[in-house]
């Protein structure tokens, strides 16, 4: 599904990713944990194609395609989804119209006709129930005036609508109370399938109680320094990151 090889990236001449390797197979859920500033969110942005990041080297193979050779739209239409840590507000643009444009863009890319109005509305209804997103939120402007939890649920709703092959969840748990966290996690879990992979970026082990990963990686200073099963997350929760950092240094 995704194969990252020696990826280097910097922002405004400050190197952040310093040769990152990661392979994610179909249907797998990977978690990336790491201390603040280790490059977690940079990785998410680089994968999604954010232009502020300078790629200094390495390759990313996405389902047989050169991911780095595609622009952000192409990546999205090819099935890569990023759930933003800070979902953006777009005043005056209704959530529904926004999704219709996105979905039709994807369909166009796949050589399909735009979705019929009725089918679209049925799809919206179905997917919205997944994350308990009520009708009012669907009709409001994209993320405008949404609470933190509503924004995150809206991200998962959009993911469900677009049915990506590979989804990156960038600190989707931040700012969520336990109920919202459960709703978000249920949404994600219901989308797990043998064809779909996830990369869950998080600071806390808590989210991984709900979305149980196949692999846990620790990112320190722009590199993955340790990989393990879900029990690694628990260990990190208990012992913090320092012991790993020390290990890296020595």
Partner 1 sequence: MAYDGKDKVLEEVTAKAYEFGFTTDIESDKAPPGLSEEIIRFISDKKNEPEWLLKWRLEAFEVWKKMEEPEWPHLNYNKPDYQGISYYAAPKQKKELGSLDEVDPELLRTMEKLGISIEEQKRLSGVAVDFVMDSVSVATSFKAKLGELGIIFCSLGEAVQEHPELVKKYLGSIVPTKDNFFAALNSAVFTDGSFCYIPKGVRCPMELSTYFRINESGTGQFERTLLVADKGSYVSYLEGCTAPQRDENQLHAAVVELIALDEAEIKYSTVQNWYPGDAEGKGGVYNFVTKRGICHERSKISWTQVETGSAVTWKYPSCILKGDHSIGEFYSVAVTNNAQQADTGTKMIHLGRNTRSTIISKGISSGRSQNSYRGLVQIMPSAENARNFSQCDSLLMTDTSGAHTFPYIEVKNPSAKVEHEATTSKIGEDQIFYCLQRGIDAEQAISLIVNGYAKDVLNQLPMEFAVEARKLLAVSLEGSVG
Residues near partner 1 (CB under 8 A) are 48-51, 53, 55, 68-77, 81-82, 84, 87-93, 97-99, 101-103, 105-106, 109, 141-142, 158, 162
Least distance from partner 1 to the Cβ atom of residue 71, Å? 3
Least distance from partner 1 to the Cβ atom of residue 185, Å? 22
Cβ-based nearer residue to partner 1, 34 or 87: 87
Q: Which regions of the chain does DSSP assign to beta strands (E)?
A: 2-11, 14-24, 29-33, 53-62, 65-66, 80-83, 90-94, 141-142, 166-170, 197-201, 215-220, 223-228
Q: Cα–Cα distance between 68 and 80 in angstroms, integer?
A: 12
CB 131, CB 156: distance < 8 Å: yes
Cβ-based nearer residue to partner 1, 97 or 122: 97
DSSP 205: S
Cβ-based nearer residue to partner 1, 154 or 197: 154
Least distance from partner 1 to the Cβ atom of residue 54, Å? 8
Cβ-based nearer residue to partner 1, 15 or 105: 105
Least distance from partner 1 to the Cβ atom of residue 66, Å? 9
Q: How far is CA 103 from CA 1, 84, 118, 215, in A?
A: 22, 18, 14, 31
For residue 3, the SS3 value is: strand
DSSP for 24-47, written as a single string: E-TT-EEEEE--TTSSHHHHHHHH
Cβ-based nearer residue to partner 1, 197 or 205: 197
Quote the Cα angle for 221-73-166, to 5°. Answer: 60
Least distance from partner 1 to the Cβ atom of residue 138, Å? 15
């Amino acid at each position: 599904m995704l194969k990252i090889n020696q990826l280097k990236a910097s922002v405004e001449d400050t190197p952040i990713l310093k040769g990152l390797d990661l392979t994610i197979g179909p249907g797998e859920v990977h978690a990336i944990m790491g201390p603040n500033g280790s490059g977690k969110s940079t990785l998410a942005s680089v994968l999604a194609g954010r232009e502020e990041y300078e790629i200094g080297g390495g390759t990313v193979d996405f389902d047989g395609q050169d991911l780095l050779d595609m622009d952000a739209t192409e990546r999205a239409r090819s099935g890569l989804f990023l759930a933003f840590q800070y979902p953006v507000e777009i005043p005056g643009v209704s959530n529904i119209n926004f999704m219709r444009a996105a979905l039709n863009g994807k369909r166009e890319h796949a050589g399909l006709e735009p979705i019929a109005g009725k089918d679209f509305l049925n799809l919206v209804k179905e997917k919205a129930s997944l994350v308990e997103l009520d009708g009012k939120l669907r009709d409001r402007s994209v993320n405008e005036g949404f609470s933190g939890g509503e924004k995150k649920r809206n991200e998962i709703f959009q993911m469900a609508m677009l049915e990506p092959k590979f989804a990156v969840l960038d600190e989707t748990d931040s700012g969520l109370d336990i109920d919202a966290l459960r709703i978000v996690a249920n949404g994600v879990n219901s989308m797990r399938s043998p064809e779909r992979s996830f990369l869950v970026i998080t600071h806390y082990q808590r989210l991984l109680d709900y979305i149980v990963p196949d692999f846990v990686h620790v990112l320190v200073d722009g590199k993955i320094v340790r990989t393990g099963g879900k029990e690694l997350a628990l260990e990190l929760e208990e012992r913090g990151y320092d012991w790993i950092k020390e290990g890296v240094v020595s």
